[in-house]
Chain A
Amino acid sequence: MSVLLDVNSLEVYYGGIHALHGVSLRIHEGEIVSIIGANGAGKSTLLRTIAGDKEAKSGTISFQGERLPNASHAVVSRGISLVPEGRRIFSNLTVKENLKVGAYSRKDGKDSIAEDFEEVLELFPRLRERIHQMSGTLSGGEQQMLAVGRALMARPRLLLLDEPSLGLAPIIIDELFEKIQQLNRLRNQAILIVEQNAFLALEVSKRVYVLKTGQIVREGLACDLADDPSIQQEYLGLA
């Protein structure tokens, strides 16, 4: 499997705080990878740095063998889409317009955009029912589906999900993660998930990185880490 994303000794400062200390990670084609860690471990900072929204002090991020540009709008056209924490949908726009904004950077023509539009609505049928509604009127779960759909409209090679379960009811979370796995199975979509809920993360991903105060302290296959007593104690709350 070829390497899609290669992050190498990343150092990032957030305000005055040294948020990431030499973080390195790799994601291969078609993989679901999770980063777990407590609040303030630097998970979101890591995703935002990959997405070009934050600047790294040093270290490199390469995608498909090329260095990524240092501006979020340019990273999107290289094939990385971020679903930001807290969804951040454009509540002043309709559901349809939100999805259209997602395809803003694409240059491959109306037909293939229309195709993906259909595909997103098939994946999230609830969005089709609400297609002309202002997106601010959607429920939290529907807004998260819209945020994922909007990111997919850019047809990313790599999808970044920042705390997708945040603030959602358990039944909605199950549905959402079902869709995420479906995406990976059907489209071979590479996905990097940052998640506080370690149970979820270990369940859906193939590999997991553990981030603690800005450093990767563990990495491995999800099935191995799930059986590890120290991980169970610290992140799964099991004695």
Chain B
Amino acid sequence: MNLFLQQLVIGLSIGSVYALLAVGYALITSIFNFTNFGYGAVMMCGAFAAYFAVVKLGFPTLIGLVFAIIFAVFISLITELVAYRPLRKRKSPRLYLMITAMGFNIFLLNLAVVLLGANVRYLPSTFSTDSIHMGSIVVSALDVYSLFASLISLAVLWVFLYLSKQGLAIRSAAHDTDTAGLMGINVNKVSLIVFAISGITAGIAGTFMGMKYTVYPNLGDIANKAFIASVIGGMGSLPGAVLGGFILGVIETMVSGYISSALRDLFSFGIMILVLIFLPNGIVGKKVQDKL
């Protein structure tokens, strides 16, 4: 029972980071109908910015987090302005956008290898790193911090999307970008907000993943898990992304704890395949239907 509870807390912690990243995917998918496979690289850039701030400049972790967010937002906006927007302007098929995103990911990853080297770097945390005892279970403080940071970010994002004017604009553009334009919504402005939000989530996730797994150019591969989470939840659905993130995080840690951590990824991808076979739209994804 103790093992179960302990794995559950760790699973929720990892799941919350997946959820945060999956929301970053889902926001862009819902509006522009393509998966931003450049997202992992954006997260990696955020992690390196945090590393630079904490290790090279000696700032505390919180300032490192701010560095990560700012740099990830910057990179995210650059991808939108340089890579995606010109393609949308030419009304390119969304497959081209997806391929461009992958190319961007490969480019940034290799640029990081060339400029910074492929070796792993330890990103220390100036937060208390003691283990936290909750009754009979022991979890690392870092897991608890990342759980809270993710939950707070998700709550702030929810408030923004559901209670602000720009949030309403984003939700209407997510449903129908052409009609949103007819309502006076500038879709290019919405895109900047959305890519900035996805940069923020990538910066937060990058910092916590960097502290958990160290910082290295391939760190962005974790974002693939978030992509799986968003497929499980339902592509383009924000509640689905959050749900999928938590489900995947908990299942992964349970598999690592009870079966074998070597089989973890097998289960992650296996679940995705099962979901695609039995629930092609994901758990809460919108159904594809003809519109009059």
Q: How large is the interface on A (under 10, 10 to 19, 20 to 34, 35 or more residues)?
A: 20 to 34
Residue B222 interfacial (CB < 8 Å): no
Apart from the given pairs A88-B176, A92-B174, A104-B169, 10 other A-B contacts in the complex at a CB distance below 8 Å: A71-B186, A73-B186, A76-B182, A84-B179, A88-B179, A90-B172, A92-B171, A102-B183, A104-B184, A105-B183
Q: Which residues in B have their C-beta under 8 angstroms from that of A72?
A: 178, 181-182
Which residue from chain A places its CB closest to the CB of B181 in the assembled complex? Answer: A72
B57 at the interface (CB under 8 A from A): no
Which residues of B in the span 268-292 have a Cβ within 8 Å of any Cβ on A?
A: 286, 291-292
Query: Counting CB contacts under 8 A, is A30 at the interface?
Result: no
Known A92-B175, A101-B172, A101-B180: A167·B292 in contact at CB below 8 Å: yes
Q: Give residues of chain A (84-134) contacting chain B, Cβ–Cβ below 8 Å.
A: 84, 86-88, 90-93, 97, 100-102, 104-105
The secondary structure that dominates the B interface is: helix
A154 sits at the interface (CB 8 A): yes
Q: Which residues of A contact B165 (CB under 8 A)?
A: 100, 104
Tell me, yes or no, whether B187 is within 8 Å of chain A by CB.
yes
List 29 A-B residue pairs with CB atoms under 8 Å apart, sorted by A's residue number: A53-B181, A71-B181, A73-B184, A73-B186, A74-B186, A76-B182, A77-B184, A81-B182, A87-B292, A88-B178, A88-B179, A88-B182, A90-B172, A90-B175, A93-B168, A93-B171, A93-B172, A93-B175, A101-B169, A101-B180, A101-B183, A102-B183, A104-B168, A104-B183, A104-B185, A105-B184, A105-B185, A150-B183, A166-B292
CB pair A154–B184 under 8 Å, yes or no, is: yes
Q: Write out the residue numbers on chain B whose beta carbons fall within 8 Å of the beta carbon of A53.
A: 178, 181-182
The 9 closest A-B pairs by CB, nearest first: A105-B184, A76-B184, A72-B181, A88-B179, A73-B186, A86-B292, A90-B175, A90-B172, A92-B175
Residue of B nearest to A51 (CB): B182
